[in-house]
Chain A
Amino acid sequence: MKVLVIGATSTIAKAVARLLAQRGDCFYLVARNGARAQAVADDLVVRGADGAYFEQMDANDIAAHEPMLKRAAETLGGIDTVIIAHGSLGDQHVCEQCVQAMMNEIATNGLSVVALATLVGSYMAERGSGTLVVLSSVAGDRGRQSNYVYGSAKALVTTFLSGLRQRLHRRGVCVITVKPGPVDTPMTAGMEKGLLWSDPPRVAAGIVRAIDRRAGVVYVPGYWRPIMAVIRSIPERAFQRLAL
């Protein structure tokens, strides 16, 4: 399989790529930090990847997306799977005070993702095959006071992918929305870890399973599906009083 990974130095993307590397997949890795992208590439090759190329790109530089996708397709000789995994977890409190910080969060976690998904969707539709995997979040299922900026960017992604999946379904393209619960990664380093937290290898295994069975929307770990169903069903009148 030929895999393009955007946000390749993110812990979850790395964990997924490691599992795929063991099967001998070939990678094109894109990340904001070139040296770290190269380190991931070296790691994957040692772990069994058939090859790993990398490119430095800032996902917020929308104009860079198209040439990057072209280079990736040329380098790999066609792309089977695209994983979009970049993101940031900005400080909610800062976002409440500073409009620019809030807009940046939405841009990184929402706009840049749907921009990439649009291009990748067209590329795959034209080929008549492919799997697009995008990391959304359970946070996108309902806005909560503790992280609704991040959550609303992910809600944009989730809703966008839902439409894209429907549109591309008959073109042979599989669109997978991955909704991890909280995961112990550097992005969440400053947070208190509770019972429902998961670790990157477990989340990665869930994502690889989803790729293999061409799933639509997956919660990882799976117990988040019923939990979020309950949270979504709480009437707004009651929800606004909760301290979630």
Chain B
Amino acid sequence: MRTEDITSWGNAIRGKHLTVAPRSRFEAFPDIPSAGSVLPFGQGRSYGDSCLNIGGGLVFARQLDQFIEFDAQTGVLKCEAGVLLSEILKLVMPRGWFLPVVPGTQHITVGGAIANDVHGKNHHRAGTFGRYVRQLELLRSTGERLCCSRESNAKWFEATVGGLGLTGLIVWAQLQLRPIPGPCVHVESLRFAHLDAFFDLTEECADDYEYTVAWIDCLARGKRLGRGVFQRANHCVSNELVACPRGAVTFPLSLPFSLVNPLSLRIFNALQYHRAGDAVRKAVEHVESFFFPLDRIAHWNRLYGRKGFHQYQCVVPMAVAREAIHALLEIISREGTGSFLAVLKQCGPASPCGLLSFPMHGVTLALDFPSGEGPSRLFTRLDEVVSQAGGRLYPAKDSRMPAHLFQAGYPRWRELSALRDPRCESTFWRRVTQGAS
């Protein structure tokens, strides 16, 4: 056991933790008796405080990194929860398989992907990561080992998928992969002039394209509000040899200030928008550069300086999506702050896998903001829109949402609370459940 200063991906929240690392999947629950509570910890890629347990303990699961079984005929893979998605892809892609859902980074653990029930550019068609988890083993602090699936221990399965590590330690999982014809995707990029055009494109492309996502210029106002670049893609067979991006460049250090500021943002956004041109651009890309563009810069989070940053990611229901996203962008563009990476994406109608799964049928918007005074006032105004629209914020990205917003957005949170492991807790959980008995 050690004491370590640990921060999450946003670099905005840090604190002392007692830490342990189980050496094998056969060990008993790796409790830290001297800590008030413990929380399983994967790669610390959550942005806010949902992966932290400040003043308490963390159980590093990364060393549970062994594959257990892989059937190259059926694409069923069983592995320990600390295995990274990147390690899975490296193993299965040459054999013609791919993860059915990948988020924006491949440097996360399987346990983390399940605990946050992550989604990707194909949510409108494929749903979330949890949908492809056939089974998992949950180790409780009571010593119980529960093999959970939709058929057996179903309530534990539903609580653990998207359960933010609060139900116990996920030891291993069995995943259903999907076949792909090769390591390439055929990508089309096209510019859209305003928010309505985004909605039209989304509707038009939903059936023919497996992957869709849009970058938006969060500074554009008036008639140009919500302009951006739409990307749609499908896996493809390519005769050209598309190189896998080699090695990542490392952003070497955190500066005392953020490189993302109103000026750099305005320049970047204008370039990004105008670079796209009027015609549809078509390209064949390697899956790694298409799905994980940010992985090419290791520690890109340092761009925001020592104070770090917050990501605001919300989802609003389809019925009110146009109005709500319009209102959100209006507020953000007036503020003149925002991020290089503002992402708009349609979420499909798949029913949520877990009690606390984030996506709902609707539209999700994600933006990064440098830490500081300004954003917190801005966030409060955005919260109002989200709340009125009946939407919710993504716990994996959050470090500040008020308890009432969480509780309204996730009405089943009490069910999770009842199934929570008595020893497991996070800074996030204490924050969003306070004031409720």
Contacts and interface: CB of A to CB of B under 8 A. Distances in A.
Interface stretch (B18-26, B224-232, B240-248, B307-315): B18-26
Contacts of B24: 9, 33, 35-36, 39
B375 to A, nearest CB: 34
A35 B26 contact: yes
A18 to B, nearest CB: 9
B69 A42 contact: yes
B68 A43 contact: yes
B70 interface: yes
A46 B67 contact: yes
A43 B26 contact: no
Interface string B2-35: 1000000000000000000101111000000000
A226 interface: no
B263 interface: no
Give the interface centre of A35, A36, A43, A46 by most chain B CB atoms within 10 Å.
A46
Given A35-B26, A39-B24, A186 B63 contact: yes
Interface string B52-93: 000000000001001111100000000100000000000100
A43 B67 contact: yes
Interface in B93-141: none
A107 B63 CA distance: 28
A46 B26 CA distance: 19
Contact of B91 (A33, A35, A47, A189): A47
A235 interface: no
A201 B306 CA distance: 30
A212 B269 CA distance: 50
A178 interface: no
Contact of B66 (A33, A39, A186, A190): A39
Grouping DSSP codes into helix (H, G, I), strand (E, B) and loop, the A interface class, with mixed when no group exceeds half, is: helix
A35 B66 CA distance: 13
Nearest to A42: B68
Given A9-B24, A190-B2, A46 B70 contact: yes
Given A43-B68, A46-B91, A186 B2 contact: no
A40 interface: yes
B24 to A, nearest CB: 5
Interface in A25-46: 33, 35-36, 39-40, 42-43, 46
Contacts of B25: 39
B91 A186 contact: no
Interface in A94-132: none
Contacts of A35: 24, 26
A33 B27 CA distance: 12
A43 B69 CA distance: 7
Interface of B: 1-2, 21, 23-26, 63, 66-70, 79, 91
13 contacts: A9-B24, A33-B24, A33-B26, A39-B68, A42-B69, A43-B66, A46-B70, A47-B91, A186-B23, A186-B63, A189-B21, A190-B1, A190-B2
Interface of A: 9, 33, 35-36, 39-40, 42-43, 46-47, 186, 189-190
